[in-house]
Amino acid sequence: MRFMLTATWKQPLNEEIMALVPAEEARVRELEQQGIQESLYLAADQSAVWGIWNCASQDALQETLQTLPLYPFLNIDVAPLADDEQ
């Protein structure tokens, strides 16, 4: 099942958050290699990220998102996408 995610910051960027960026990038690369994270788009002002993710269910997606180092600092809205066959 595919999902459209919109992520925004819960707070202004700070040193603690910026220190986690390399680990976040590494985890996202792993998820890309697994076919879970399909595409990712960053707003020009870095205020939001949009992405297409592919997981077996919304619960599986939630479990995966919680493995992201920046997860505690993000507001994430999830929208299930219609199947391509519809």
If you search the block for the tokens 């996202």, which residue do you land on?
Answer: 28
Task: Report d(CA 84, CA 27) in Å as an integer.
Answer: 27
Query: Is domain 2-80 classified as CATH 3.20.20.140?
Result: no
Is 26 or 84 the better-scoring residue by pLDDT? 26
CA 18 vs CA 2, 11, 15, 23, 63: distances in Å: 29, 12, 5, 10, 23
Mean pLDDT to the nearest integer, 42-51: 95
Q: Where are the domains of the chain?
A: 2-80
What does the alpha-carbon distance between residue 46 and residue 3 come to, in Å, rounded to a whole number? 21
Say if residue 80's pLDDT is above 90: yes
Q: What is the pTM of this model?
A: 0.89
- pLDDT for the residue numbered 64: 98
Which residue is listed with tokens 């994270």? 37
Write the pLDDT tens digit of every residue in 64-75: 999 999 999 999
